């Protein structure tokens, strides 16, 4: 079936060449990082995790969000989603591959990464994260390859596939919960030391993932013969509306606890994010942009006449995705390190090679997604 990804027009091959170029550039940057060390990035003794881990956290959410189309279809008979469950599963596979790559490029000794499996450590959340992500990749790979194969052969999917799909639903929730557990069990990091971190992660995942899916469906409708249908877009829009509302509500809850209690530990990281500490406020413009975009998106999503307009919905989806990428993929992780355990305010900004690697991983994810979608659409066109 993969041979279908080798037959494409000029637009397709230009896109693939562009992605391959970005991936190659990222690879060159990574070779430099391997030879010099992680000092080539903007991370420091105070800010131990930067954009690599932040992107990992964001894309685990995107991977988990496939459940938002799988659950309605398999458990609640929302027949319209039947056409796009496989798109959601392929998005999950591409996202998990990106997550694993982001973790790999963040390791100081990447050749030893299998030590996590050779010396399993049941009390470490990172061990469970590796297992759950690996298992999720396997699950989605099996499900999507079997489904696609059956579509190709015009046969109904085998009976054993349904329990496997149902199993992937709680597993999807668990991957993002375990990722939240990486952060919210640490006694020394007050920004993350909150039980609502896991629900926040899930809410932002279920907003940003379906928003991305809406954009992908609209893109596919414009560029290919695949049309998910207006009903699918409408329903996805409702899911994004609810999830984004919950996500913003959770953030406001966090702000209340931090700011009303006047406990310095709780409030300082939020202060750094939005207003700055000791005169340093590098993330403030991005956080306020995120807030503005979130507000505008909410208005567009919650007013039915706005949401029904597909152009407005597309713009709102872009705003949701970018706003949450800024909040989770940049703000949340880096701000957890400010102030440091000894009260220092150390800023962080990714360096050139670091961004090159990030773009390279993005390109590989887009490459994987393009190949999978191309194969799927070619098969559907042929039938």
Partner 1 sequence: MKITRKAFLRIAGGSVLAAGAGKLVKAISDVAPPPAAVSGSKSTAEGGRATTQRWGMAIDFEKCRKGCDDCIRACRLAHNVPRIPDSAHEVKWIWEEPYEKVFPSQRTDYGRQDLAGSQLPVLCNHCADPPCVRVCPTQATWKRDDGIVMMDYHRCIGCRYCMVACPYGSRSFNWFDPRPYIKPLNSQLPTRTKGVVEKCNFCEERLADGLLPACVEACPQKALVFGNLNDKDSAVRQTLRARYAVQRQPELGTEPSVFYLV
What is the binding site for partner 1 (CB under 8 A)? 36-40, 43-46, 48-49, 103, 106-110, 112-113, 115-116, 118-119, 121-127, 130, 182, 186-189, 264, 336-337, 340-344, 346
Cα angle vertex 74, ends 316, 93, to 5°? 60
Closer CB to partner 1, 49 or 362, in the complex? 49
Question: Least Å distance between CB 186 and partner 1?
Answer: 5
Closer CB to partner 1, 107 or 259, in the complex? 107
Question: Least Å distance between CB 39 and partner 1?
Answer: 3
Question: Least Å distance between CB 142 and partner 1?
Answer: 23
- CA-to-CA distance for 124 and 197, rounded, in angstroms? 18
Closer CB to partner 1, 337 or 373, in the complex? 337
Closer CB to partner 1, 247 or 347, in the complex? 347
Q: Are residues 296 and 248 in contact, defined by beta-carbon separation less than 8 angstroms?
A: no
Q: Are residues 331 and 40 in contact, defined by beta-carbon separation less than 8 angstroms?
A: no
SS3 call for 277: strand
- Residue 75 C-alpha from the chain's centroid: 24
Q: In the numeric block, which tokens belong to residue 118? A: 């050779």
Question: Least Å distance between CB 280 and partner 1?
Answer: 14
Q: What is the 3-state secondary structure (H, E, C) of 85-141?
A: HHHHHHHHHHHHHHHHHHHHHHCCCHHHCCHHHHCCCCCCHHHHHHHHHHHHHHHHH
Question: Least Å distance between CB 96 and partner 1?
Answer: 18
Closer CB to partner 1, 49 or 372, in the complex? 49
Question: Least Å distance between CB 38 and partner 1?
Answer: 5
- CA-to-CA distance for 118 and 99, rounded, in angstroms? 21
Closer CB to partner 1, 34 or 138, in the complex? 34
Report which secondary-structure segment, H or E, holds 214: helix 197-223
């Amino acid at each position: 079936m993969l041979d279908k990804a080798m037959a494409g027009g000029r637009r397709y091959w230009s896109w693939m060449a562009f992605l391959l170029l970005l991936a190659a550039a990222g690879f060159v940057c990574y070779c430099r990082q391997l030879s010099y060390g992680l000092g080539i990035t903007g991370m420091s003794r105070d800010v131990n995790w930067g954009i690599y881990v932040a992107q990992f956290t964001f894309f685990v959410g995107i991977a988990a969000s496939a459940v938002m189309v799988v659950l309605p279809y398999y458990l609640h008979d929302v027949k319209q989603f039947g056409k796009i469950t496989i798109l959601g599963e392929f998005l999950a596979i591409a996202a998990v591959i990106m997550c694993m790559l982001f973790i790999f490029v963040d390791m100081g000794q990447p050749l030893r990464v299998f030590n996590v499996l050779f010396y399993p450590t049941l009390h470490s959340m990172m061990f469970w994260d590796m297992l759950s992500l690996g298992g999720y990749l396997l699950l989605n790979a099996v499900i999507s390859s079997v489904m696609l194969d059956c579509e190709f052969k015009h046969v109904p999917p085998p009976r054993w596939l349904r329990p496997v799909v149902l199993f992937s639903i709680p597993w999807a929730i668990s991957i993002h919960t375990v990722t939240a557990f990486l952060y919210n069990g640490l006694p020394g990091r007050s920004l993350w030391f909150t039980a609502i971190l896991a629900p926040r992660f899930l809410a932002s995942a279920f907003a940003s993932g379906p928003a991305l899916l809406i954009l992908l469906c609209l893109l596919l409708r414009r560029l290919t013969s695949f049309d998910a249908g207006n009903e699918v877009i409408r329903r996805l829009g409702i899911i994004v509306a609810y999830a984004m509302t919950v996500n913003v509500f959770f953030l406001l809850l966090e702000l209340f606890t931090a700011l009303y209690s006047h406990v310095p530990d709780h409030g300082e990281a939020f202060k750094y994010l939005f207003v700055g500490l000791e005169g340093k406020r590098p993330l403030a413009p991005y956080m306020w942009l995120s807030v503005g975009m979130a507000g505008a998106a909410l208005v567009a999503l919650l007013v039915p006449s706005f949401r029904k307009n597909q152009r407005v919905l597309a713009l709102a989806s872009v705003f949701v995705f970018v706003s949450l990428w800024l909040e989770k993929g940049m703000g949340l992780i880096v701000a957890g390190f400010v102030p440091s355990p000894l009260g220092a305010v150390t800023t962080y900004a990714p360096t050139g090679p670091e961004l090159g690697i990030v773009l390279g991983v993005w390109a590989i994810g887009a490459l994987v997604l393009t190949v999978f979608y191309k194969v799927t659409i070619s098969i559907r066109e042929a039938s």
